[in-house]
Structure 1
Amino acid sequence: MGFAKEQQLQDSTRGFVSSGKAICPDHIPDEALKQHIQDYALEAACSFCPAMGTDDGEPIAAAFDDFMSGFMVGVHLHYRRANDEGTPFEDGDFKIEHFDSDAIAVELFYETSQGVDLKRK
């Protein structure tokens, strides 16, 4: 199997596409996810704001893929992949209401961010 196909399968299994970006905790309202970013911080700069680590090289951001891996743990506690659950499939579509991981991630993030200023201070 070629690299591109293998990457596509990994992305599908994880529920998100690798980005190569980094994120600092200032963008996340959920305390557990903020802690996850701090625990995995290895990057000197955030890709979403001008935040930089300290002059002595202390990292400020985690790889976005590491953040999303933690985020998707929570998603998978509440949602299952339709393919893995024996969902009826006919004429090229599922026969029940279903959601893709992008829609679920947006909905969950929106719910947790209500009333929170997500802009960097």
Structure 2
Amino acid sequence: MTEIDDIVYIYICARLDHPDGAVIDLFQSDPWEEHGGDGTIVGRNIECWWESLTFDGTPHAAGPVDIGAADELLRACGYQRLNDWTIRTGRSGVTIHSADARIRIEDIR
């Protein structure tokens, strides 16, 4: 039997200092890179919501969480971050950390 695997690309949106608690929202994406470039992701199409990761099993963890804890949670869930974090402030004043990642989905037949 041939094993079939798939790589799913993910856009990470981590809101670690949200007043209601820290959450990492993940969106399936279709990244693109410059033709003839070095493989650096220069943009993406967001396809759909994938899942939300939390730090205590509830939708929001109490108190701010640092970016190192976010990386640990992503790795523990099987995600591999592909580029550096981009940091911006959203309209609500919450800091948003974003990056691209991927996860390997194994055949479960």
TM-score normalised by structure 2 residue count: 0.25
| TM-score normalized by the length of structure 1 | 0.24
For the pair shown, the structure with the greater C-alpha radius of gyration is 1
* Greater percentage in strand: 2
Higher helix share: 1
- Name the structure, 1 or 2, with higher relative contact order (CA <8 Å, separation 6+): 2
